[in-house]
Chains A and B, each alone.
Chain A
Amino acid sequence: MKIRGKKGLRWASLVIAFCLLAAVLPLNACGTDEEAQVLSIYVAYGGPDIIAAEFEDATGIKVELLTMSSGEVLTRLRAEKDNPQTDVWFGGGSDAFIQAKSEDLIIAYQSPNAGNVDEAFRDEEGYWTGVSLVVVGFLVNDDRLEDKGLVLPESWIDLEDPSYHDELLASNPNTSGTAYTTVSGVLQIMGEEDGWAFLDEMYANIPFLEKSGSAPASKALAGEYAIGIVPDPHISIINNPDAPLTSVFPSDGVLAWPSPVAIVKGARHPGNAKKFVDWCLSAEGQRVLMQASPRVPTTDVDTLAGVPNLSELNLVAYDHIKWGAERERVVAEFNQRYPQFQ
Chain B
Amino acid sequence: MRWQKYLLPSVIFLVLLVFVVYPTLSVLVKSLSVGERIGLDNYIDAFTKPQFASTIWGSLLVAAGAAVLSTVLGLIISLTVFKTTLPLRRFFSVAAVLPMIIPGFVSTLAYIFLFGRNGLITYKLLGVTWDIYSWKSVLFIQTLDFTTITFLIISAVMLGVDRQVEDAARNLGASEWEVMKTVTLPLIRPGIIGALLLVFLRSMADFGTPLILGGRFDTLASASYSQLIGTYNMGMASTLNAILLLICLVVFWFYSRVQATGSRVRLQVESGQPREIDLKRPLKATLWSVCLLFSSLVFMILVSVFLASFTRHLGADFSFTLEHFRIVPQRGWNSIMNTIVFASITSLVMSLVGLVIAYLVTRIQFKGRNLIDLLTTLPFALPGTLMGVGYILAFNHAPFLLTGTWAIVIAVTVIRELPLGLRSGVSVLGQQDRSIEDASASLGASRLSTFFRIVMPLSRPALVVSALYAFVATVQTVGAIIFVINPSNKVLSVDVFEAIYRGDVGDAAALSMVMLLLAALGVLAIFAISQRGVAQTWVHRVLTHHASAQ
Chain A interface residues toward B at CB < 8 A:
1, 3-6, 8-9, 12, 23, 26-27, 40-42, 49, 53, 64-68, 71-72, 74-75, 78-80, 82-83, 85-86, 141, 144, 172, 174-175, 207-208, 211-212, 214-215, 217-219, 221-225, 240, 242-244, 339-342
Contacts and interface: CB of A to CB of B under 8 A. Distances in A.
Contact of B444 (A3, A67, A82): A3
Given A71-B231, A222-B313, A175 B226 contact: yes
Contact of A339 (B51, B401, B490): B51
Contact of A8 (B228, B330, B448, B502): B448
B317 A207 contact: no
Nearest to A63: B487
A66 B488 CA distance: 8
19 contacts: A5-B444, A5-B446, A9-B448, A64-B488, A71-B232, A74-B232, A75-B228, A79-B232, A83-B401, A174-B230, A215-B501, A217-B503, A218-B505, A222-B315, A223-B117, A240-B316, A339-B50, A339-B51, A340-B216
Interface stretch (B297-305, B367-375, B403-411): B403-411
Nearest to B495: A67
Contacts of B319: 242
B493 to A, nearest CB: 14
Contacts of A342: 51, 218
Nearest to B490: A66
B178 interface: no
Contacts of A86: 486-487
B449 A5 contact: yes
Contacts of B117: 223-225
Nearest to A268: B404
Contacts of B229: 71-72, 75, 175, 211
Contact of B440 (A3, A66, A79): A3
B504 interface: yes
A48 B312 CA distance: 19
A42 B487 contact: yes
A214 B503 contact: yes
B331 A49 contact: yes
B487 A40 contact: yes
A66 B485 contact: yes
A3 B443 contact: yes
Contacts of B504: 218
Nearest to B217: A208
Contact of B446 (A8, A49, A144): A8
A180 to B, nearest CB: 12
A26 B317 contact: no
Interface in B495-516: 498, 501-505
A212 B499 CA distance: 11
A49 B330 contact: yes
What are the nearest 5 A-B pairs in CB distance?
A218-B503, A342-B51, A223-B118, A175-B230, A222-B315
B3 interface: no
Interface string B111-136: 01100111000000000000111000
Interface string B225-254: 010111110100000000000000000000
A222 B314 contact: yes
A85 B486 contact: yes
A6 B446 CA distance: 8
A243 B331 contact: no
Contacts of B443: 3
Nearest to B113: A222
Contacts of A141: 316
A263 to B, nearest CB: 15
Interface in B278-321: 312-317, 319
A341 B216 contact: yes
A221 B133 contact: no
A339 B211 CA distance: 17
Nearest to B55: A342
Contacts of A217: 503
Contacts of A3: 440, 443-445, 449, 453
Given A207-B215, A242-B319, A339-B50, A49 B327 contact: yes
